[in-house]
Structure 1
Amino acid sequence: MRHSCFFTAISIALLGISGCKMADTGPVAFNPATNVSPTFSTFDLENTDKAPDNLEHTRFWDFYQGLEPTGNNATDEDRETANEIRAHIDKFIRATRTPDGKSYEKVRNPLDLMNQVIAFNEIDNFREGRRYISQRIAAGQAGNYSNRANGALIRFTDQNAVLDDASLNDKLWVYPTLDWRYLPKGPEDSDLDEKVYRTIQYVSRSVATEEAEAQPELISLLAGSRFDANSFVTSGYNIPEFATADYLSRNYGGIELRQEFIRDKIDTLFIKSADKPVLDLSRHGITLSDTSPDCLRVELDYVGSVLRVFHSNEQPAKIKDPASEDPDATIKNPAYCGNQVDNEAAISWAAKGAFWRQ
């Protein structure tokens, strides 16, 4: 795989670093995070006259449209599989499709909403947090904004959902973590100096058993982004270098989207722990002993405009190193879907991609 410490380092603000030890970052000033509890008319996001490009900044925008099969060799089987991938994504981001089914005209999920709220700069404390990080960048000193560290509450309320007496997790979104962290120095022997890491975490509220089925599918999400500190801005959207988003649902397992905006320019979707088959691989002539493989990886290469699907079942990510006498030594398992190389893809097709990502 093309990933090393990049995606581990993205979530440094919340998660421990494994195999990517960060250098001493020097003195850190105060953390300005405080309680934030705004009320919105709705959590729905769509393009409007005042914000005509809202949806372009949602997390799945490029991937959702870019995976569409294209060219003279595109088959009905490919198009059906593309539709199945989108249908599975819809369960997590609550997308309302466009009439042609190849894009969406509305989404409703905590990650896209938080990203828009930060960009619009209308929450005083979030604005102060970005300004503080910018000041630390200018001073060349590490800095951290973290509501978790300060015990500060972030709670969003949907006014229309409250008036409609919607389920608890449809009208109230709580974020245990919003974290910006500036690190002047990255791991040793790396080029990760001068980076800003942002972590966003959402967790649904617990409800009584009889109320569970009325709740939205999404249980939790954890998203991390890495930005170049030298181009970090305090208004609008910061353009990430790398980003991850991990979603967990009540009934459909989880998905994880990894995005690379520099170098390889690739989006990778992992479909995890789905009890029921997500993709009908049999239409492509693939016969599985298990109808729902435990590892499905959908990779969109924007430079090559190619969509690839990889799968494996009951294959661990790592296996014992046969060349080592150390019983604990391991190596990547080449049979695991996350480790398979391009020419081992079970399915591939020429994809629409996105010209701005090439």
Structure 2
Amino acid sequence: MRHSCFFAAISIALLNVSGCKMEDTGPTAFNPATNVDLTFSNFDLEDTETAPSNLEHTRFWDLYRGIQPSSSDDNANNRETANEVRDHIDRFIQATRAKDGNNYEKVRNPLDLINQVIASDQVTNFREGRKYISQRIADGQAGTYNTRGNGALIRFTDQNAVLNDTSLNEKLWIFPTLDWRYLPAGPEGSNLNEKVYRTVQYVSRSVAPEEAEAQPELVSLLAGSRFDANSFVTSGYNNPEFATADYLSRNFGSIELRQEFIGDKTDTLFIKSADKPVLDLSRYNISPSDPSPDCLRVELDYVASTVRIFYSNGEPARVNTPTSEDPDKTSANSAYCDNQEDNEAAVSWIAAGASGRQ
């Protein structure tokens, strides 16, 4: 599919903060990552008078609003389906809906919070990390900031949750990996030169079985972004070319968001291994063999302002296609939901989209 090579490249990296107390230590040679321990009044992220544009930088901001059917679409089924997609996203990012139901006014999740903290430029070690990468870009030399490589951890504590004695993973978020990686040259045969890759990993803390149900739904996340090194900045937000984020829950399987900010300009949400039905496709007279198919793909094309929904069940991503020259050859399975073409969408509608993504 058109996504594959772009997002495979991101995996190379896998080798409002006001009112917070911030503590961190100095850099080490060649890899400046060190422990960072921050205490927040709470983990909620919303727009405020002092930070009026927090939410527009959250990961689902464009998709959440953009999938709304256009004002000229009077199909109630499409509006219900868009709402079901938002309901499922809410489970992973703890979104609080705005009054119109098509947007959110607050989120509470590790990825959006650490992105805002990094952009705030208030944490010494994160600032040093980006300056180090910027200097390596200027020198034309590969460079890495990696917490895991230095045995460092990033630890966030919610003061209100501690005072209220809530569950462990409501009051403590730990990030085993924050990685910035500058690669002057990409893989041979690619045009991925002069790129910076960033990886963020969050993993919830283990608890006793009797405490499991009190924990937040999110178990872990792994997010990657790719940036143009020539426009990499050391303060504020860097604009990605591509980004991915995988979220794993306790009870609702996982979701993966892939975002393309250049070229195709699409957001693609994969809904995977949900034990309970997420989208009621029967309202379109579609009856999957399993009401909770193992592969659901919700794609928002910003250029065409179109939502397309694809599904498959029990279909592998690749199938064996042996030849006499290569008995182990495999090929993309056209029946798998990520390999289906635009005209094979089970459901589609004209969407509100997001003008900022054009």
Place the TM-score, normalised by the shorter chain, in its bin: over 0.9
Residues of 2 paired with 1:217 and 1:269: CA distance? 18
Q: Please name the residue that 1:101 is paired with.
A: 101
Between the two proteins, the alignment pairs up a number of residues equal to 345
Aligned twin of 1:69: 69
User: Could you list the runs of 4 or more consecutive aligned residues of structure 1 that deviate by over 4 angstroms after TM superposition?
Assistant: 322-325
Alignment check: 8 A CA contact 2:323 2:329 kept: no
Contact 1:77–1:284 (Cα < 8 Å) also in 2: yes
Does the CA-based 8 Å contact 1:74-1:349 persist in structure 2?
no
Counterpart in 2 of 1:56? 56
Query: Equivalent residue for 1:20?
Result: none
The yes-or-no answer on 1:118 pairing with 2:118 is yes
**TM-score when scaled to structure 2?**
0.95
Corresponding position of 2:281: 281
Separation in structure 2 between the aligned mates of residue 167 and residue 327 of structure 1, nearest angstrom? 53
Q: Is the 8 A contact 1:11 1:198 kept in 2?
A: no
Letter of the structure 1 residue corresponding to residue 62 of structure 2: D
Q: Aligned AA for 1:313?
A: N
Q: CA deviation at 1:74?
A: 3.6
Q: 1:336 to 1:324 in 2, by over 3 A?
A: farther
Corresponding residue for residue 181 of structure 1 = 181
SS state of the match for residue 11, structure 1?
Answer: helix
Structure 2 counterpart of 1:82 = 82
Partner AA of 2:169 in structure 1: N
Report matched runs for 1:1-358 at 5 Å. Answer: 1-15=1-15, 30-321=30-321, 326-358=326-358
Quickly say closer, same or farther: Cα 1:75–1:323, change in 2 above 3 A.
farther
Question: Could you say if the C-alpha distance between residues 322 and 73 of structure 1 is closer, same or farther in structure 2, counting changes exceeding 3 Å?
Answer: farther
**Structure 2 counterpart SS, 1:338:** helix
RMSD of aligned residue pairs (Cα, Å): 1.0
For 2:8 and 2:155, locate their aligned partners in 1 and report how far apart those are by CA, in whole Å. 27
Query: 1:9-43: CA deviations, max 9, x gaps?
Result: 1121214xxxxxxxxxxxxx710011111101111
Structure 1 segments unaligned to the other structure (5+ residues): 16-28
**1:177 Cα deviation (Å)?**
0.2
| 340-349 vs 289-298, which moves further | 289-298
- Cα deviation code 1:147-196 (max 9, x no counterpart): 00000111010111111111100000000000000000001111110000
Q: Is the 8 A contact 2:195 2:226 kept in 1?
A: yes
CA distance in structure 1 between the partners assigned to 2:146 and 2:74 by the alignment: 47
Residue type matched to 2:73 in 1? N
Distance in 1 of aligned mates of 2:285 and 2:71: 21
The answer as to whether partners of 1:74 and 1:350 remain within 8 angstroms in 2 is no
Q: Which amino acid is 1:106 matched to?
A: K
Distance (Å, rounded) in 1 between the aligned partners of 2:324 and 2:96: 52
TM-score (norm 1): 0.95
TM-superposed CA distance for 1:325, in Å, is 5.1
Structure 2's unaligned 5+ residue stretches are 16-28
CA drift at 1:323? 5.0
Identical positions, percent = 75
2:177 maps to amino acid? T
For residue 20 of structure 2, what is the aligned residue in structure 1? none
CA contact (8 A) 1:71 1:350 kept: no
Q: 1 or 2 for the larger relative contact order (CA 8 Å, sep ≥6)?
A: 1
Offset at residue 8 of structure 1 (A)? 1.4
Contact in 2 for aligned 1:11/1:223 (Cα 8 Å)? no
